[in-house]
Amino acid sequence: MLAVVIILGVLIVVGVIALITTAVLRAGNRAPANAIYAASVAAPGERIESTQLDGNRILLRLSGPNGEELVVLDAASGRTIGRIAVATRP
């Protein structure tokens, strides 16, 4: 019985150490907040009507000769997540 208690106690201590180590390693892998990146959005002949920031997403509302379009960007990397064409004509 004493051996079971000792083994379980050691397993609990090892588990807690593993949790703390994982938390520290994940906290250290974040990209620096001041990292510089360059991104471009293909929008020939269009102009930006408005922008909106929500958490880690940027929403651009573009307008041009082909109508309006919404572009969603990832704020951390500048990557285009999605494009939505807004149908202004029925």
Over the stretch 48-86, which tens digit does the pLDDT of each residue have?
899 999 888 999 999 888 788 899 988 877 888 888 888
Q: Are 85 and 73 in contact (CB under 8 A)?
A: no
**pTM of this prediction exceeds 0.85:** no
pLDDT per residue as tens digits for the range 32-44 = 666 666 677 777 7
pLDDT at 17 over 90: yes
Q: What is the pLDDT of residue 65?
A: 83
Q: Which residues pair with 53 in a beta bridge?
A: 58
Q: What is the pLDDT of residue 30?
A: 64
CA–CA gap between residue 67 and residue 86 (Å, rounded)? 7
Confidence of residue 29 (pLDDT cuts 50, 70, 90): low
What pLDDT score does 41 carry? 76
